[in-house]
Amino acid sequence: MVVSMKRFFVSCVLACMTLNAYGQSDAVHWQMLQKASAAAHVLSYQGIFVCQSNKQQAKSVQIKHLYDGQQEFTRNIVLDGAPREMFSQGNDLVIYNPKNEKIVIEKRRRHHLFPDVLPADIESLKPYYTLTSGSSERVAGRDVQILLLEPKDQYRNRHQFWIDAEYGLVLKTVTLNSRNETIDNVAFSQLNLFNTVDLDWFKPKIDSNKHYVMEENSPIADNSPSPHWQLNDLPAGFRKVDQMALTVKGKQLPITQIVFSDGLATVSLFIEPLAKNGKQKQGASNVGNTNVYSRVAGFLQVTALGEVPEATTAHIANAVTFIK
């Protein structure tokens, strides 16, 4: 009896030690992810990363990011195909987009751009993802630790992050669907840090043979409530991060676009009046890795799309309730 009690006691102690070690390890991994989130903002770095989506041709992007202690400045130049340039300062994004003989200057609100792929508050992910660690590898000549985020529900994809062991920066990220198919793969091929605060590089390469014009009918921020629709039950963890009015050539009335995110995934919701005698769009479809779900609510055409599971786009589209 005494021996049995001793064995039971030892088993309990070992179990508690295992759980405690697991809990500490789990906390360390979440801390690594939080460090990675901050590193994308507070480090100054430059390099080249390669991004590939679905079976599309991979594209190389040159990036330079500076943090001067108060503000962030980032320049991205697409190195393959048309030399598209993107400049972000704080939350503002300006895109120089070649179109035929013109360079169209587009203004947008800045959302997550690699390697800034994690939310500022990592705690917000814990209810919806399980975090585990993978092996140690090397990316762009640097030692990394792999971290894996597994979704707890059907509304999210799997995410893998290769975290720089020294600086904490995300050097590679892969997104996988429920069939373990790769949706996106982005990774640095070259990277180095710098400590100068010179901003001479923060300007576009002007082509004197091109005509520079501002984008016509650029999106306008618009958070005003609509008398014709309201949003109800969204997938848990998703919240509105942006709303704007889009003026589209050939359409009499503007289209409302609302952007939702859980900190990692992003879904755009479009709401517009049905065109007279226009074809109604209903049901699920996809374009590459982008899932699309359309439905009609009253006299409104509703469309949700994003690189998320079909359940997510369907749920968000069905969250729109028509008000007579």
Tens of pLDDT along the chain (324 residues) come to: 444 544 544 454 444 444 344 445 689 999 999 999 999 999 999 999 999 886 677 899 999 999 998 999 999 999 988 778 999 988 888 888 877 777 777 877 767 789 999 999 999 999 999 999 999 999 999 999 999 999 999 999 999 999 999 999 999 999 999 888 999 999 999 999 998 888 999 988 877 677 677 776 666 777 777 888 999 999 999 999 999 888 877 777 888 999 999 999 999 999 999 887 778 899 999 888 899 999 999 999 999 999 999 999 999 999 999 987
The two three-digit tokens of residue 207, written as one number: 């082509």
Side-chain half-sphere exposure of 259, counting CA atoms within 13 A: 19
Identity of the residue numbered 165: A
Q: What pLDDT score does 102 carry?
A: 73
Q: What's residue 224's pLDDT? A: 78
Show the domains of the chain with their CATH numbers.
42-213 (2.50.20.10), 220-322 (3.30.200.100)
Buried/exposed 13-29: b ≥16 CB within 10 Å, e otherwise: eeeeeeeeeeeeeeeeb
What does the block give as tokens for 170? Answer: 């995300």
Strand, helix or coil for residue 22: helix
Q: Which residues pair with 45 in a beta bridge?
A: 65, 193
b or e along 64-84 (b: 16 or more beta carbons within 10 Å of the residue's beta carbon)?
bbbbeeeebbbbbbbeeeeeb
At residue 21, the pLDDT reads: 41
The pLDDT value recorded for residue 110 is 65
DSSP class per residue in 263-285 = SS-EEEEEEEEPPTTPPP--EEE
pLDDT value, residue 248: 79
